[in-house]
Structure 1
Amino acid sequence: MSGPENCSDFAYGQVHDAGGLSMTVSIFADRPHLREELREDIGAAGLHVRECGPVAELLAGKPRSLGEVIFLDCPSLDAASLAALSRLDMRAAHSGAHLVISTSVDALDDVFGCCDQSNPQILVDPSRSERVIALGRVLALRPNLRLRELNEEDRLTLLRLTEQVGRIAERLEKLHADRKAHGGSAFRLESPGNGYHGETAHGDRLVRSARLELPEPRLVREIIRHRQLRAKFFDGDLFADPAWDILLDLTAARAEHARVSVTSLCIASGVPPTTALRWIGQMTSAGLLKRVEDPADRRRAFIALTDQAAEAMAGYFAETGVRSAELV
């Protein structure tokens, strides 16, 4: 990839598709077979490919519009490409373009650290079907698009590809309903218990007399270990619960005052990295997780529980009365 100084020349067209015009897509990947697969899939969706070439072409030539969607494949990154990716993320955020990035587990932390503005879809060693799902998610965000009519074979293929996303959506829909039912929060507010005092004669606000504490990290790690042992005797998919595994891992880390990288959290989730990233993104939107920049290196970022999520986890352990590692 060329040096980062040319990144300031990035320019994107405004997204105006209310008239039903199909979106335009640019593809930048160094692997020829990947470029061709993406071109075929984008064309099959009835969209127009504006550019398709190696990553170096992203920085070459005069400023031009790259369209409403940019697919970027970067399985490895050097210093120049890190800077370029940061600029691309900023430009995509300002223009409203949708950025889809495929990368590797080894480069995931670097890619995640660079992309803090455009909320891109990050795919880790994706299959072709996962890239099609990513395209479908982009299309779902754009109203008034006219897509070609699907035949029965297309519909069956699309159903298989989106089955996994559908399962996630069902859980997220319930989470969204819970948030609306409880004042837009992802947390349930119960009536004050013994740990609270009501208003005083002076009209002071309701306050807690004692803050609930998280359990010892050793206990949480033991619970995690017991959960992982189930996969030794049963199909792991039977017990897949990435949201809870993510919360448990971050609860232990918070109690240990440890930082958790996005790669580490993907591993802890027990599901493929691309699926884990979707959960992390949705849980962040729900106010459960937050992105924490590394003060020593702005190119790195970590994931942590929000204060409300930590409080909810402390309340959960207090309510269940867990005091030993017997609960799994």
Structure 2
Amino acid sequence: MTPTPAVPSTSGTENSARRAPDEAPAAAIVVEGLHRSFGSVNAVDGLSFQLARGSLLALLGPNGAGKTTTVEICEGFTRADAGQVRVLGLDPWRQGSALRPRIGVMLQAGGAHASARTGEMLHLMASCSANPLDPAWLLDILGLASSERTPVRRLSGGQVQRLSLAMALVGRPEMLFLDEPTAGMDPQARHLVWDLLRAARSDGVSILLTTHLLDEAELLADRIVIIDNGRSVADGTPAELTGGSSSQLRFTASPGLDLDLLRRALPLGFVVVEQTPGRYLLEGEIVPSTMATVTSFCARVGVLPTGLQVGARSLDEVYLELTGKELRG
């Protein structure tokens, strides 16, 4: 696949150009006190969050946490039991006919008819839009030009995902809903999709995506909302959720070191653990003197530390801490 060329404007409204200089942009999505139950199951239980216009929000959570239900309510496919939802200032359930031309939806299942040809499917979507992107350009940029006449049922999983993204983008939406946008894609395709999403965001498109790829969320999102059991358990920028500054030091050495000796050498408040035999973690404010203390300790006990790494907590660690490590159905 070739590098991403210049991307035509993906937004059909150019709101930023029309907005008065002193006018604050309204939120693209406002969710307040959202509830939705299916029988005795509370799929969404008092959820609230906002997505600023022209930004990308990643909605994360285990299977069954309420992500899909929340997104379907925002798209206007499912009705809320209680609470308020506004997308581009509109109620997606009551004002769906006004909202639908302004949004693009990428379904994880693809959404394309299995017997249709790839090019036919994208041209059909383009014909429903007032000012679509060039379907041929989208097919080319997403590596699907050679599959233009291939029936959808014969595409690989990654190709179906790329076609689904093209179908969501072709109408120049103001708002994109993306469900697992890079699932099944190889690394080259993932990076291409990331570039397209960055270009769309730069053009003022607001994006709500769900993903189980936490590195993808950390790389792309301006803001992350983690939900569990239908409720928000974390809401912030990637830096806010992971602690931002360096707060961890990891190193490898002989197993079974006397960590009490190391703790006494460090300032108060440090947490020192042997996570697995021979793999050590320090948590606290990591500064140059901390490194010196660790290497001095290792020299004192006669071991050579390797693989010293300094950084903040990973999003994976934060996510598992908030939602637990047990498998979900």
TM-score (norm 1): 0.34
Mark the structure with the bigger radius of gyration. 2
* Structure 1 or 2: more helix by fraction: 1
TM-score (norm 2): 0.34
